[in-house]
Structure 1
Amino acid sequence: MTLVVDPWRDTYSLERRATMRWARTRWERGVQMAREKRDWRRVVTVYAFAVATLLMLLLGVVLIGRDTTLTRNEIFSAVGLNLIASVIFAVTFSAVSGQVQNRAIEENVEESFSELSTRLMSHLSQTNALFLPLASYAALDTNTGYGDAFNCDLTRSLHRTGQITFYGPTAWFVPARLQVTTMTRVARIAICILDPRNRAAVAQVASDQSEAPWAQGMTRAAIEETLRTDLLRTVVALFEWRTRCPVEILYHDDTSVFRFIMTDDAIYLTWLRGDSSVGRDMGESYRFGPDSFFYQSQRLDIVRRSQLNHAKVTFNATDDRKVLLDHLEMLCGRPVREDEAEAWLEEYRAGTESFRSYLEQLSADG
């Protein structure tokens, strides 16, 4: 039995727990403050009533004592009338003051909860923007489609971006996507893919993709050779884009359990080892905004890789075919003929023809 751990799900769970603990603490604090205010008002009210009663009683005794003409019966009669009047006044005052006090308490509680709700919503908004994806896309196989929602959102981002960054084991669909998508602002393309010279890393990726539909019935050696050749085909296809803008290709030794494509306004992450991704052509994907932790961290990581990585090449508009052949020779460890490079380019175009047709139809449908 294989235990598959989803780090994104665990991260969301921890974040939700932390948010709920914070909200509960703030709510309990708000309730405690409301109770303290209510108790304080009650004490002040009782104190004020007691002081006023004593003062009025003393004043009444003094005034009665100054009148020497009053008889005992007259005094008792006056006291009785005043008691009746006091009861009427007390009942009226209690009813009115009780309503005023209850309304004041309700306003204070409502104000406390309103402030708490505002802070909670602000905290949740910041948390969502920082850690949670803006959209998610289900895993699927290419024989059932390429995912309209994912490709529509990504195409929309590519239309208005000024730079494109890709990271993953292979960038098989990237040149085809660039060929179909209309992009007028792109000034830089950075592609970070697996180094085909690293046999151990290629073998690990081949093991990960052995359950994919396209690899069914193939030996492990055949899968590895296909991956290695696909990397070379992708490099040749990316070379054709040098006339539009500089194309920088960086080679890494990671096994790449995820891939992403980054634009100015979003990063599209595909979790290749997710529960629903294993054995599928297109893994489950997520879209994060430019203010998210994942976007910021990966952008900085790619910049550092570009600065420190020695296994890289940049194709410019002035580069001729010899630059490509020399680079392919370095990757293959042997001289590469012109006809081999042309054959790889044709094989790439044939292998991505259905995907390009799909994107063209998707763009035509609007």
Structure 2
Amino acid sequence: MANRRPLSILQRRLARYALVLSIGLVVGGGLFLVAQDSSTPWATILSGLGINLIASGIFAAFFAFLSDREHRNLVVEEIRESFSSHSEQLLGAVHAEQAYFLPRAKFAASKDYNPEFDIELSRAMLEASFYGFRGATAKYVARRLALLSTCPATVTVILADPRSDSLMRRRVADRTTNPKYRGLSPIEIADSLRHELAESLVGLFDQRFKSTITVAFTDETFVTRVEITDKTAFLALHISRSSRIQGFPEEFQFDSGSLHYEIQRAEIERRVELSTLKTTFSYSTTEEQLSTFLASVMQEPGGSVDPGPLRVAHHARMEVFDRHLTAILGHLNEDV
């Protein structure tokens, strides 16, 4: 930078010298040619020069006005184009960073089912070949699969391990602040939580002909609930203040390729891989196999659990949600 400045000054000086030299040569040449004409009086020559100077001055003023205006317009246009180009590049970079770190959409916490969230999640599931769920219980997952006209071929569900007493106590403590469980004792909340888990298993088993469903149990905090498809992920934050006050937590939607999407997709795969209690429901899974797995999950000493009462209880628990989701899915199922 220091070497360029003297060079620039030298270039400007040379340009000035060249201009002065050119003007001097032109004027000197003109005077020399005029001096060769001895027949014309000097008064006539000077008069002609005066007229030419006046004409030159008028022309120079007019030309300077036009050229200055055009030059100014050209400079303004170049600045505008340059600014526009840089602005587009900057906005593109900012948008790319936002898409990587920030959610595409946010759904506020609500006291009842959120139609906007259910529409977006249902649309994503209808278009997906994979659906993953990670949450304490999956009481709504089976009903979503049951009511969709087209289901993801592969479903992965990660649930809270009811064999972990510390995890169950943590989940009970979380639910005591939820208005939906207000008035229940900790023991009643714990029983409700275990029944939800068992009912969720039976509900998922009943959808084995529509999807191949892998269920794994883990011992984690579950401060969030994650639902993910091929193209998008929904993250529910249970611990925010608005989520604690309302019955249903606020949700954030992230596109595939974003930071949160990649993390949650990998988390689900790793959780299934490391789980010590898991199973897969497919068209070949029998009721007896479900009964045996239920006993191992719920730690029933008899070695089997009758799915019948759990199935009835699950349908009764989901009756209101079924009506809500059926009304939403009317036009979505028709579009598929």
Shift of 1:222: 2.7
Aligned length: 321
Confirm or deny: 8 A CA contact 1:209 1:279 kept in the other structure: no
Partner residue of 1:245?
Answer: 211
Partner residue of 1:133?
Answer: 103
Q: Secondary structure at the match of 1:287?
A: strand
Partner residue of 2:63?
Answer: 93
1:154 aligned to 2:121?
yes
Partner residue of 1:195?
Answer: 161
How has the CA–CA distance of structure 1 residues 140 and 210 changed in structure 2, closer, same or farther, with 3 Å as cutoff? same
Runs (4+) off by over 6 Å: none
How has the CA–CA distance of structure 1 residues 87 and 353 changed in structure 2, closer, same or farther, with 3 Å as cutoff? same
How has the CA–CA distance of structure 1 residues 195 and 100 changed in structure 2, closer, same or farther, with 3 Å as cutoff? same
Identity %: 27
Partner residue of 1:176?
Answer: 143
Q: Secondary structure at the match of 1:278?
A: helix
1:278 aligned to 2:248?
no
Residue 310 of structure 1 aligns with an amino acid whose one-letter code is T
Query: Once superposed, what is the RMSD of the aligned Cα atoms?
Result: 2.8
Residue 236 of structure 2 aligns with an amino acid whose one-letter code is T
Q: Secondary structure at the match of 1:277?
A: helix
Shift of 1:164: 1.2
Question: Aligned match of 2:180 in 207, 214, 218?
Answer: 214
Residue 128 of structure 2 aligns with an amino acid whose one-letter code is T
Confirm or deny: 8 A CA contact 2:130 2:229 kept in the other structure: yes
Confirm or deny: 8 A CA contact 1:201 1:254 kept in the other structure: yes
1:225 aligned to 2:191?
yes
1:57 aligned to 2:27?
yes
Confirm or deny: 8 A CA contact 2:291 2:305 kept in the other structure: no
- TM-score by length of structure 2 reads 0.84
Shift of 1:324: 2.0
Question: 1: distance between equivalents of 2:30 and 2:80?
Answer: 43
Q: Deviations over 1:75-104 (max 9, x none)?
A: 543443333233112212211211221121
How has the CA–CA distance of structure 1 residues 260 and 54 changed in structure 2, closer, same or farther, with 3 Å as cutoff? farther
Q: Deviations over 1:240-283 (max 9, x none)?
A: 22233321112222211111211233222222222321132211
How has the CA–CA distance of structure 1 residues 140 and 249 changed in structure 2, closer, same or farther, with 3 Å as cutoff? same
Question: 2: distance between equivalents of 1:335 and 1:197?
Answer: 13
Partner residue of 2:324?
Answer: 358
Shift of 1:238: 1.4
Question: 1: distance between equivalents of 2:21 and 2:195?
Answer: 95
- TM-score by length of structure 1 reads 0.78
How has the CA–CA distance of structure 1 residues 232 and 89 changed in structure 2, closer, same or farther, with 3 Å as cutoff? same
How has the CA–CA distance of structure 1 residues 62 and 246 changed in structure 2, closer, same or farther, with 3 Å as cutoff? same
Instruction: Compare 150-159 and 302-311 and name the one that shifted more.
Output: 302-311
